[in-house]
Amino acid sequence: MQKNQLTQSLWLLLLIIGCLLVAYLVPSFTAGPVSFKKINLLADIQAEPEPDTIPSTFVVQQDTTRDSTVVESLPVKAEPLPFPCPEGITCLEDYSPNKRAMQKFFQALHQAKSKPIRIAFYGDSFIEGDILCGSFRDTLQSLYGGRGVGFVPLASEVTQFRTTIQHTYSNWNTYSLVGKYKDNVPLLGISGYAFVPLEQNEVEYKPGRKQFYKKFNTIRIFYKNLNQTTLNYTLNDTSRFSTNLIISDSLQQAVLEGNTIQSVKLHFTNPDSLIVYGVSFEENKGIYIDNFAMRGNSGMSLYSLSPELVRQFNHYQDYKLIMLQYGLNMVTETDSLTYESYQVKMIRVINRLKTVFPEASILLIGISDRGGNIDGKIQTIPAIPRMRDAQRNIARKTQIAFWDLYTAMGGENTMVKYVSANPPLGAKDYTHLTFRGGQKIAKKLSDALLYERNRYDKKPILP
């Protein structure tokens, strides 16, 4: 007959419990290479710490009785961010000390019903042809009023596909920040361009077909003139006029006005000492976005503009917001730069802009996504995020506002998706937008700007 093991099992169980109790009572110790950690028999049933307690916030306190530093870990309740960015919007980042980088522009918006409020939108080929600026302008003019495209150059590489204004010209010499010249270069204007008329010069503008561009109300022509020169202009192909231009070595403007101007044709006689910088189409109130696109520009060359001439432009324009969109002309498929030199030069540019536009806010727009052939596959150029980070650092060091366009688009490989969309949102060079893509980005930019305006109105004024 098999022996009953119940008594032996009971004694074994009691022995195990006894050993565990002894281990529970023994403190942690180390003996040579052997370490013993105190056993917690109740670990599985003890309550966890509160989930909203953050134990990683440290306060450094000075012990005045000893020459030492005591670091204490103080749990702090997690506080929700004030005015958090809502889902679907990539918000502006404000690097000003008091978080009021956009204050001058937002304050000016309250006057848009009674006076023109102007935005200078500097950029490279990404914004040329009003691909992005057109829809952005439409949104703001629908909210704040305004009719017209604002500043337009005398000559342009994009006249054939720009839809916000119809534009033809002949017999003009063009000079720009990205041109290579040896001698006799005229002083470049606020857009980075200058135009010198030849004999038989002509330029004609007609309104675009969109709601806010169907007619001209006020036309302003910016120029410098040192000799007797006559402006001959024709309105609506029928009414002909002429006026003598002011002789001065300072910037001047000629103003043409009318309620139903459907076209204007300009011709300058005796133009030997005349420089024309551009023409602005507008009315006496609302929002105007001057598209200062320049193909191939990195932004650094803006520093070479004459501060005095830019101030003279601003005397007439009184810009309230300067927007900067650059970076695409600095990145390549193979570089591994951190763009430190670029940061130094762009910081210098922005600090210069602060002095010549003292009543304007400044918004730096980060680089967009761009695709390249990486290891046989079209994908985001690796340098794009590094340039974006460099631009954010530029904004931080100059204490201005920043908008992360790369993230707003969707981040890595977004341009590949834009190109393959139906209908396409990106061009097949995997760099530029189609007009539909421009509308999409313009909406994201408008949403970010308008949300920041609403958030600004709710913010307490900080010292």
pLDDT tens-digit series, residues 265-284: 999 998 889 999 999 999 88
pLDDT band at 3 (very low <50, low <70, confident <90, very high): low
Whether the pLDDT of residue 17 is over 80: the answer is: no
Residue 308 has pLDDT above 90, yes or no: yes
The confidence score (pLDDT) of residue 80 equals 45
pLDDT at 111 over 70: yes
pLDDT score of 95: 97
Same structural domain for residues 246 and 171? Answer: yes
Per-residue pLDDT at 55: 33
Same-domain status, 172 and 130: no
Say whether both 436 and 292 belong to one domain.
yes
Give the highest mean pLDDT range of 71-85, 163-177, 201-215: 163-177
Q: Which amino acid is at 356?
A: V
CATH number reported for the structural domain that contains residue 347 in this entry: 3.40.50.1110
- Contact (CB, 8 A) for 204 and 167: yes
pLDDT in tens, 358-379: 999 999 999 999 999 998 999 9
Say whether both 215 and 250 belong to one domain. yes
In this predicted structure, the answer to whether residue 390 has a pLDDT above a threshold of 80 is yes
Higher-pLDDT residue of 41 and 444 is 444
Query: Residue range 96-121: average pLDDT?
Result: 96
Tell which of 229, 258, 284 closes a domain: 284
Asked if residue 414 has pLDDT above 90, the reply is yes
Reported pTM: 0.81
**pLDDT, averaged across the chain:** 86
| pLDDT at residue 41, as a whole number | 56
Same domain, 357 and 446: yes
- Provide the pLDDT confidence category of residue 30 given band limits of 50, 70 and 90: low
Q: For residue range 138-148, what is the model confidence (pLDDT) as tens digits?
A: 999 999 999 99
Question: Considering the domain boundaries, does residue 69 fall inside one?
Answer: no
Q: Is residue 23 part of a domain?
A: no
What is the mean pLDDT of the segment spanning 286-301? 96
Per-residue pLDDT of 450-461, as tens digits, reads: 999 998 887 654
Give the pLDDT confidence score for residue 351 in this predicted structure.
98
User: Are both 243 and 343 inside the same structural domain?
Assistant: no
Most confident of 11-15, 36-40, 278-282: 278-282
Domain end (from 259, 284, 309): 284
Quick one: pLDDT at residue 21? 65
What is the mean predicted confidence (pLDDT) over 250-278?
93
Same domain for 359 and 454?
yes
Using left for φ > 0, alpha for ψ between -120 and 50, and beta otherwise, residue 376 falls in: left
**pLDDT confidence of 71, banded at 50, 70, 90?**
very low
| Residue 73 located in a structural domain | no
If asked whether residues 176 and 261 sit together in one domain, one would say yes
* Residue 334 pLDDT: 87
Q: Which is it for the CA torsion 457, 398, 84, 98, positive or negative?
A: negative
Residue 57 has pLDDT above 60, yes or no: no
Q: Residue 197 sits in a domain of what CATH number?
A: 2.60.120.1360
Domain identity same for 160 and 236: yes
Residue 332 lies in a domain: yes
pLDDT of residue 66: 35
- pLDDT of 272: 86
Per the listing, tokens 């097949």 go with 428
Read off the pLDDT band of 242 (50, 70, 90).
very high
Q: Which domain holds residue 220?
A: 147-284
Q: Among residues 262, 284, 306, which one ends one of the domains?
A: 284
The pLDDT score that the predictor gives to residue 22 is: 62
CA distance 139 to 447: 10
Residue 219: inside a domain: yes
| Residue 413 domain flag | yes
329 and 214 in a common domain:
no
What pLDDT is recorded for position 29?
Answer: 56
Structure-block tokens of residue 442: 């313009």
Which residues, including other chains, have CB under 8 Å from residue 361's CB and lie 6 or more apart? Answer: 101, 102, 103, 104, 105, 106, 320, 321, 322, 400, 401
Q: Is residue 226 part of a domain?
A: yes
User: What tens digit of pLDDT does each residue of 319-361 get?
Assistant: 999 999 999 999 998 888 889 999 999 999 999 999 999 999 9
On whether residue 61 sits in a domain, the answer given is no
Q: Is the pLDDT of residue 298 over 60?
A: yes
Higher pLDDT, 68 or 132: 132
Domain count across the chain: 2
State the SS3 of the chain.
Answer: CCCCCHHHHHHHHHHHHHHHHHHHHCCCEEECCEEECCCCCCHHHCCCCCCCEECCCEEEEEECCCCEEEEEECCEECCCCCCCCCCCCCCCEECCCCCCCCHHHHHHHCCCCCCEEEEEEEECCCCHHHCCHHHHHHHHHHHHCCCCCEEECCCCCCCCCCCCEEEEEEEEEEEECCCCCCCCCCCCCCCCEEEEEEEEEEEEEEECCCHHHCCEEEEEEEEEECCCCEEEEEECCCEEEEEECCCEEEEEEEEEEEEEECCEEEEEECCCCEEEEEEEEECCCEEEEEEEECCCCCCHHHHHCCHHHHHHHHHHHCEEEEEEECCCCCCCCCCCCCCHHHHHHHHHHHHHHHHHCCCCEEEEECCCCCEEEECCEEEECCHHHHHHHHHHHHHHHHCCEEECHHHHHCCCCHHHHHHHCCCCCECCCCCCECHHHHHHHHHHHHHHHHHHHHHHHHCCCCC
What angle (nearest 5°) sits at the alpha carbon of residue 232, between those of residues 227 and 236? Answer: 160
pLDDT at 168 over 90: yes
Note whether 269 and 155 are same-domain residues: yes
* Same structural domain, 257 and 187: yes
The mean pLDDT value for 388-410 works out to 98
**Mean pLDDT confidence for 107-133:** 96
